[in-house]
Structure 1
Amino acid sequence: MIKLVALDLDNTLLTNDKKISLTNEKALKAIHEQGIKVVLCTGRPINAIWHYIEQLGLTEATDYTITFNGALVINNTSREVLAQQGLSKADLVPLHEFCAANGFPMDVLNFEQVYPITDLNDSIYQLGGDIKFEPTSFDDLPDQLYAKTVAAADPAILDRLQATLTDELKAKYHIVRSQPHILEFLSLTTDKSVGLKALLNHFDADYSNLMAFGDAENDTGMLKAAEVGVAMANSQPAILELTDYHTDTNENDGVAQFVNKYFAK
C-alpha cells in the first residue's frame, strides 16, 4: 500500500518554466487530503522551494521535505531536522585541488547558504528563495558540516569535468548530474533514497509504501528503492530503463496522469 509519494522537481513535477501546473496541483492535493504523504525531493534548500510547498498545501504538522538530495530531511513548518548528513571541510580538499588544477568552478553549500569559492573559476550557480551567497576563498571557508558541493558551468565544461574525474574522487564522493549544467558532489551515504528511508521509518513505513517520480541521475536511488518508481517520458534514457513504470512528460502533467490513474483503483 502506497503511503508516501516522493517527487523530484525540475523536469518532473515542474514544467519547463519552473511551475507546478494546476492539474498536478489538484492531483497531489487530492491524495494529500486522503492522508497520503506528499514529499518534495530536491537538491535545493527548503527556502528556495517554499512557494511550491505553499502551493501544494504541504504545511501540516506532519509534512516534510527531502532537501540537498537527501542530506537533510526537514519538517516544513517547525523546521525541525529529522535526519542530516554531509561533508566536512577536510573532505572537500581533494575536490578543491582537482578544480584548481583543471580550471573548474566550485560552490559549497551548508544547510543555510552558498559559498562560491573565489580562488577558482567563476560559477553560474543560482538559487531562488533569497538564499545568501557569500563568496569566499577555500582557505577562509568555515570549518563546519556541508550539505554538498556543486560545479555549475556550461554542459560541455561539465562533460569534460566528468571525463577527467580521478578514481580517487569517484571513490570519495557520491557524484550526480542533477541538471545538464549542474554536477553535485555529496557524501557517499547521501542520496534521496536515504533521506526517504529515514522519513519512512519515522512514519513506521518502508520502501514498499513508497511511490517516487523522477527523470535524472540524482533520482536513481529513490526510483530503484520505491515499490512504484515512475520515470517521466522526458527522462534520461538510463532512467527510463530503471523501471517498468513510466508516465507522460513534465510538460503534459505526467505526475497527475499517473497519480490519478493509480489511486483511482
Structure 2
Amino acid sequence: MIKLVALDLDGTLLGSDKQISSQNVEIIKKHHEKGINFVICTGRTLSEVYHIDSIKNLLPYTDYTILTNGSACIDKTGNTIFDIRINSEDVKNIHSKLDHMSMMFELYSNGKVICSEKSLKEYKDYINPDFYKLVEDTRMTVPDILKFSEDEQGGINMILASFLSNSDMKKAYEAVNTMDYYITQVGERAIEVHHSSVDKGNGISNLAEKLGINKENILSIGDSHNDLTMRKAVGTLVSMGNGIDELKDISDFITSTNDDFGVYHALNKLL
C-alpha cells in the first residue's frame, strides 16, 4: 500500500508551459483526501517553486517539499525537516576548479538564488530559453559571489554552474567529480553540486524515516538525471514518457508525457 508519493516538478508535474494541469491537481487531491502523503521533490529552491503560478492550486494537498535535490525539506507550514549544506571553503574549492571556464556560477541558500551582477547581465548565454523568465524574476545579485558565500551563515545548499556548451559542461563535471560532492547534470549545459550526502533518493529516505514509512510504501515520479537516485528510496519508480532513457531503464512503470498528463495517468493506475 502506497503511503507517500514523491513528485518531481520540471518535466513531470509541470507541462511545457511550466504550469501544473488541473488534471494533475485533481488526482493528487483525490488521493490526498484518502490519507496518502504527497511531497514535491525538486531541484528548485523555494523562491523558484513559488514562481510557478499554479503551485497555489497544489499546495493544499502537498504535505512536504524537498528542495535543491534533497538538501532541504520543509513541511506545509514552512518548518524545516532537514537542511544539509556545503561550507564556504567547499564553494571556493569548486569555483577554483571551474573559474578558468566561461560560466554562470549561482548559489542556492535559504530559499533564494544568488549570482554575481556580471552573470545576470550575461545569463542568456548560459540558460535554456525556457527558464529566462524564472531567472529574471528570482535571481538576487551580489558584487562578489565568493564573498557572499563566506558571509552566509551555515553554508550553501547547492551550486548551479552553467556553461556555453555541452562539451564545457562535461569538462566541468569531470573536474568536480574528482572531489567529494554529489553532482548531477542539468539539461545539456549545466551541473548542480551538493554535499556528498545529498541527492533526491536520500532526501526521500530522510523524510520517510521521520514519518515511519517503509521503502515499499513509497512511489515516486520523475524524468531526468537528478531523479535517478529515487530508485534506491522507493518501492515503485515511475518514469515520465518524456524521461531520459537511463530513468526508463530502471523504472517499474513508464507513463505518458508531461504534456499528456503523465502524473494523472500514473496515479490513476497505481494508487
TM-score w.r.t. length of structure 2: 0.86
Residues 37 and 103 (structure 1), Cα distance of their counterparts in 2 relative to 1, 3 Å cut? same
1:86 equivalent to 2:93? Answer: no
Q: Report SS of the residue matched to 1:134.
A: strand
Tell me what 2:143 maps to. Answer: 136
Change (3 A) 1:135 1:183: same
2:217 aligned partner: 209
Q: 1:147 to 1:2 in 2, by over 3 A?
A: same
SS of structure 1 residue aligned to 2:208? helix
The equivalent of 1:45 in structure 2 is: 45
Say which is worse superposed, 164-173 or 144-153, in terms of deviation: 164-173
Question: Are 2:221 and 1:219 aligned?
Answer: no
Query: Does 1:64 find its partner at 2:90?
Result: no
Counterparts of residues 70-219 of structure 1 (less than 5 Å): 70-77=70-77, 79-117=78-116, 122-123=122-123, 124=126, 127=134, 131-143=138-150, 144=153, 145-154=155-164, 157-166=165-174, 169-219=177-227
Q: Secondary structure at the match of 2:178?
A: helix
Q: Give me the whole-angstrom Cα distance separating, in 2, the residues matched to 1:68 and 1:232.
A: 20
Q: 1:118 to 1:47 in 2, by over 3 A?
A: closer
Partner Cα distance (2:34, 2:201) in 1: 24
Partners of 2:9 and 2:41 within 8 A in 1: yes
Asked if 1:35 is matched to 2:35, the reply is yes
Assess if the C-alpha contact under 8 Å between 1:192 and 1:219 holds in 2.
yes
1:177 offset after TM fit, Å?
Answer: 1.6
Q: Note the alpha carbon deviations across 1:192-215, whole angstroms, 9 max, x for none.
A: 111211211221112221100001
Kindly provide the CA deviation profile for residues 77-114 of structure 1, in whole angstroms up to 9, marking residues without a partner as x: 2x110111011110012221122112222111112322
Percent of aligned pairs with the same amino acid:
28
Q: Distance in 1 between matches of 2:110 and 2:222?
A: 23
User: Aligned residues, how many?
Assistant: 258
**Deviation of residue 138 (structure 1)?**
3.7
Contact 1:103-1:120 within 8 A present in 2 as well: no
Contact 2:200 2:226 in 1 (8 A): yes
Indicate the RMSD between aligned Cα atoms, in angstroms: 2.4
Query: Which has the larger displacement, 172-181 or 124-133?
Result: 124-133
Q: What runs of 5+ residues in structure 2 fail to find an aligned partner?
A: none
Check the 8 A contact 1:40/1:66 in 2, yes or no: yes
Deviation at 1:222, TM superposition (A): 1.1
Contact 1:73 1:81 in 2 (8 A): yes
Partner Cα separation in structure 2 for residue 218 and residue 35 of structure 1: 28
Report the AA paired with residue 188 of structure 1.
Answer: S
Letter in 1 for 2:147: D
Change in CA separation of 1:168 and 1:85 when aligned onto 2, cut-off 3 Å: same
Q: Given the superposition, is the C-alpha separation of residues 148 and 214 from structure 1 closer, same or farther in structure 2, using an over 3 Å criterion? A: same
Map of 2:14 onto structure 1: 14
SS in 2 for 1:150: strand
- Specify the SS of the correspondent of 1:161: helix
Higher fraction of helix: 2
In 2, Cα distance between the equivalents of 1:76 and 1:47?
A: 15
Q: What is the rounded CA distance, in whole Å, between the counterparts of 1:38 and 1:69 in structure 2?
A: 16
Question: Is the 8 Å Cα contact of residues 70 and 190 (structure 1) preserved in structure 2?
Answer: yes
Letter in 2 for 1:151: A
CA gap 1:92/1:183 in 2 versus in 1, 3 angstroms = same
Counterpart amino acid of 2:15?
T
